[in-house]
Structures are given as C-alpha cells and as structure tokens.
Structure 1
Amino acid sequence: MSAAPRSPLEGHPPTSRLRLAEPAPTVSGSGAPKVVAEGVPTAVRPDQQTGDGRYPIAWLTITAPRGATPTATSICACGRNLFAAGHHKALALIEGHTRHRDLCPLRTHQEGAAA
C-alpha cells in the first residue's frame, strides 16, 4: 500500500541518461571552443569612471512635506549627527551645518594639505 517514490520535480519524469555539456562547434567546424567574441578586446583597460579623489564628508537632509512639520538632519564623518524638527529649529540646523563646513576638522585638514 506504499506509493511509488516521487521525483524531486513534480510532473517531470526522472532523467536516467545524464550527459555533460559540450562546447558548441565553431563556424569553421573544428570543434575548438571560441573563447572571445570577435571585436571584443581581451586586454583589461583601466576603469574610465574613476573619481578625482573627492568623496562626501557631510550630509544635510531636509524634509518639508506640505502641511506637516519640517525636519532636518545634519550628519558628518567627524561624528556630528544632529536632528531638528520644526520650522525655526530646522532653519537653525541648516545654518549650523553651513558653519560646520568651515570648522570641520576633516575638511580643514584636507584643505591645508592641498595648499
């Protein structure tokens, strides 16, 4: 009264003859596998999208949905992480973020090294 064992994929018959994949023959019929498509350079070229060495240090995020309380977040890689909610507090945080750009130890160090 036991049922016959099912294959792992229902509805598909079990495969009894397994074959390894073989490379397709080339146009010339030699059977050698084609490694690279024609016209494709094989040498690795340097990345054309490399940056100029600059990267973001500070982020200012402002959210002001219509009819809701505006918020602002000021985050800097030096450890500054401030949040303000409300119109006046958000404006004050935006001004503080602008002032921090001149006082941040990460920015002043980079500008002094370039000079």
Structure 2
Amino acid sequence: MTAPSRPPLKSVTPTTATPHAAPQPVDTPAVGEPKGVAEGVPIAVRPDPQTGDGRYPVAWLHICAPRGAVPTATSRCLCGRDRSAVGKARVLALIADHEAHRDTCPLRTPQKGRTAA
C-alpha cells in the first residue's frame, strides 16, 4: 500500500526579467471640502468663557486620616508658610493654627501704608 502523495509545502514563483511598476490607486473626487480637524473641534483658540469673580485660593489644608492609621496634615499658603503634623493631637493643633493664619496672612489682610490698587 502506498501513502497518498502530498503537495509540496513551498512553491517557487517564477521571476521576471524586467521590473513592472506597481498599480497606482485611482483618484476619486472628494465629497465636500477637506476638513483640517475632526468635527466638533474648534479651529481657533477662543478665550475662556468661565470668567472668575477675582477670587483665587491662597491657602490649602490637606488632611489624611485613614481608618486605623495615624492621621497626617499639611498647611500651605502662598505667603510661604508650609507646615505639617503627624498624630491626632498635632493635626488638631495644625487645623486651629491654619484657621488662625487666615487673620494674620499678609496676602489676605490689607497692610497699613499700602495704597489700594
């Protein structure tokens, strides 16, 4: 009994002696005008429509008190004040100090002798 013959796994393609140019795609007319960006994206930069009332943050108090862990807190202000505390008693003291700093901060209280802008 003879085994069935299998076709060869690789085939040799014949090579040509002269190179041929690759076929070029057919130019199709565009529908509408070409777009510079995706739809819905403004092309020109517009001014920010959210106009503020002149207020901006000056001081930040960040408290991290995960359950079952030691609480920490940081108090920062644009005037240069930067303090931190670790532990419940010290964090509570820093919170009180941060609230007291509101009245003494040179950026929040007008200073005597300064002319108004």
Normalized per residue, the structure richer in helix is 1
Q: Which has the larger radius of gyration?
A: 2
Match runs of 1:22-101 below 5 Å: 25-27=30-32, 33=34, 46-101=47-102
In 2, Cα distance between the equivalents of 1:64 and 1:42? Answer: 46
Q: How high is the TM-score relative to the length of structure 1?
A: 0.58
Cα RMSD between the aligned structures?
A: 3.8
Q: C-alpha deviations, 1:3-28, integer Å up to 9, x for none?
A: xxxxxxxxxxxxx98x9xx9x6344x
Deviation for aligned residue 1:35: 7.0
**Is 59-68 or 48-57 further displaced after alignment?**
48-57
Report the equivalent of 1:12. none
Are the counterparts in 2 of residues 74 and 83 from structure 1 also a CA contact under 8 Å? yes
Structure 1 unmatched ranges of 5 or more = 1-15
1:87 and 1:48, CA in 2 relative to 1: closer, same or farther beyond 3 A?
Answer: same
Distance 1:104 1:95 in 2: 14
Is 1:26–1:34's contact at 8 Å kept on the other side of the alignment?
Answer: no
Q: Structure 2: 5+ residue runs without aligned partners?
A: 1-20
Whole-angstrom distance in 2 between the partners of 1:41 and 1:90: 48
The answer as to whether partners of 1:62 and 1:72 remain within 8 angstroms in 2 is yes
SS at match of 1:107: coil
Quote the sequence identity (%). 62
